[in-house]
Structure 1
Amino acid sequence: MRSPSEAASSRRMPIRTGWPRAARTSSTRSWPEDPEFLAEIPAGRYATTEEIGKLARFLVSDDAAYINGESIRIDGGAARSL
């Protein structure tokens, strides 16, 4: 069985996603700042919609043409992946 990215790439449709953890949006602006939650994020803040938008624009651009089957975290370092 082929993965979704393998199946889609044969039709020249790469699979690329952005995975935000927490962002300030019009829906979340009224949420109080939670120091304990923000302490889990090395950046110490929520992502902005502009930052998430920049990742989305990159992922659909020709500059990301060789990226396929990837999900890129935009979490201020919260995942702490190696």
Structure 2
Amino acid sequence: MLRYLVMAFRTPEFQTSVVDDHYAFLDRLKQEGKLELAGPFTDKSGGAYLIKAANMEEAESIAFSDPVHTTQSSVVTVYEWNAK
């Protein structure tokens, strides 16, 4: 498994109602053993999380199913990260 950094930056269309769904999504990833770390930025511009996936395609599939992405509340990008 490789590590991928998912960055989510709020858009002007950010919906506060999506926050609970986003946290439920992260909780599910944690239970599945795919989420290592997650948290918001202190300036409230968005957040990031670190996931494990077999490849970029799987990582993007996971990240792009995040409710903050599907509601267009945030711009989500995925980076393969060789963190140590």
Output the TM-score relative to the length of structure 1.
0.30
Higher strand share: 2
Output the TM-score relative to the length of structure 2.
0.29
Q: Whose radius of gyration is greater, 1 or 2? A: 1
